[in-house]
Amino acid sequence: MLTKSLQIIDIYIPRILGDVSANTVKNAFKTLNIGNVIDLDMHKKKNENGYYYFFAFIKLQVWNTTAAAKITNCLNERSIVHVVYDEEACQYWEIKKHIPRNIRKEQSIIGSIATSTKNYIDNIAKQLIESNEYVSGLTQQDRLDMITEYEELEREIFQLTC
């Protein structure tokens, strides 16, 4: 079944049904051969319709199993995975990698700087093009190529930081 612990990961479950207990969460990870919950920090919240639900931060000791490997691979590749914890009731959790608040802020700042820079460049380009005083050796295709290249670079930066 399991041999030894591979690693400890921090995950986040944004929505857990209001009738699901902390023991249910802990037992689900064991039953599914994923790992052992070392720390579980569940918070109760009320949605817009007045129903309660939980969100949780979990420190998980991942086992050396096929199920655990699939989940950690998905989290590493996409930062999100769905785990069915009650097949009969078709209940699942959306599990995300937990990113500490200070790192999320840094990523947000980098994203807003990139957006601001793009907007600034777009505005200058628009002003220059609209004023017939600007003369350039660039063709319209050159401009389109530069915009495309910029957008590709922006996507690469976003992928590296998110």
User: 83 and 10 share a domain?
Assistant: yes
Residue 6 pLDDT: 63
Does residue 126 share a domain with residue 54?
Answer: no
Report d(CA 141, CA 41) in Å as an integer.
54
Question: According to the model, what pLDDT value does residue 67 have?
Answer: 92
Domain tally for the chain? 2
DSSP strand pairing (91-97 vs 5-17): antiparallel
Q: What pLDDT is stored for residue 79 in this prediction?
A: 83
- Residue 109, pLDDT score: 57
**71 close to 95: Cβ distance less than 8 angstroms:** yes
Give yes or no: residues 75 and 146 share one domain: no
pLDDT of residue 33: 94
Q: Are residues 71 and 117 in the same domain?
A: no
Domain that residue 142 falls in: 101-161
* pLDDT for res 45: 93
So what's the pLDDT on residue 96?
A: 92
Residues 61 and 133 in one domain: no
One domain, residues 145 and 88: no
Q: Which residues of the chain have pLDDT under 50?
A: 1-3, 5
Are 147 and 106 part of one and the same domain? Answer: yes
Tell me: do 21 and 35 sit in the same domain. yes
Domain-terminating residue out of 47, 72, 97? 97
Give 99-108 pLDDT, tens digit per residue: 776 665 555 5
- Tell me the sheet residues that pair with 160: none
CA proximity to 39, closest of 55, 56, 21: 56
Nearest one of 73, 72, 62 to 36, comparing CA atoms: 62
